[in-house]
């Protein structure tokens, strides 16, 4: 399969296609911040670059940090799937702790049981 993109800008545009305006805005900002911090194009990015980006996100709340890292991981997965990058470096990077909150559901006790 031939690569579907030959530059970061086109890859990001393809990745954002069909997403809502709010999501596009947030994800594009995340991608641009990541690329600016790494100083590299997507095919040159390493696992260490993604980890350094995640570690540098100390300002926003944990959920926002996780969303930002998650969007970069999504971009890297997409870039690999379309043949723009040789390896998905984001696949091995873990999200920052405390980002995703899961709701805990407690089932009500049934009458007559202990």
Nearest-5° angle of CA 44, CA 50, CA 54?
160
pLDDT at 99: 54
Q: What integer pLDDT is reported at residue 91 of this predicted model?
A: 93
- Total domains in the chain come to 1
Any domain includes 81: yes
Q: Let me know if residue 98 belongs to a domain.
A: no
Q: Which residues of the chain have a pLDDT value below 70?
A: 1-2, 98-114
Q: What is the pLDDT of residue 71?
A: 95
Can you give the CATH number for the domain in which 33 is found? Answer: 1.10.150
Is residue 84 domain-resident? yes
**pLDDT number for residue 102:** 44
Asked whether residue 99 is domain-assigned, the answer is no
Closest alpha carbon to 31 in 18, 17, 15? 15
Distance CA 98, CA 33 (A): 22
| 110, part of any domain | no
Q: Give the model confidence (pLDDT) of 86-113 as tens digits.
A: 999 999 998 877 655 444 444 555 665 5
DSSP calls for 24-84 = HHHHHHHHHHHHHHHTS-GGG--HHHHHHHHHH--SS-HHHHHHHHHHHHHHHHHHHHTTS
| Residue 61 counted as domain residue | yes
pLDDT at position 59 is: 77
Instruction: Please check whether residue 50 lies inside any domain of the structure.
Output: yes
Range of the domain at 33: 8-92
Asked, for residue 60, whether it belongs to a domain, the answer is yes
């Amino acid at each position: 399969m031939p690569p579907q993109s030959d530059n970061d800008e086109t890859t990001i545009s393809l990745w954002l296609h069909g997403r809502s305006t709010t999501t596009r805005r947030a994800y594009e900002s995340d991608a641009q911040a990541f690329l600016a911090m790494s100083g590299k194009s997507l095919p040159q990015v390493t696992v260490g670059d993604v980890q350094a980006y995640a570690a540098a996100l100390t300002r926003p709340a944990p959920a926002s940090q996780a969303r930002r890292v998650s969007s970069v991981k999504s971009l890297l997965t997409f870039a690999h799937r379309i043949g723009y990058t040789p390896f998905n470096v984001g696949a091995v990077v873990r999200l920052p702790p405390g980002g995703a909150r899961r709701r805990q559901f407690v089932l009500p006790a049934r009458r007559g049981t202990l």
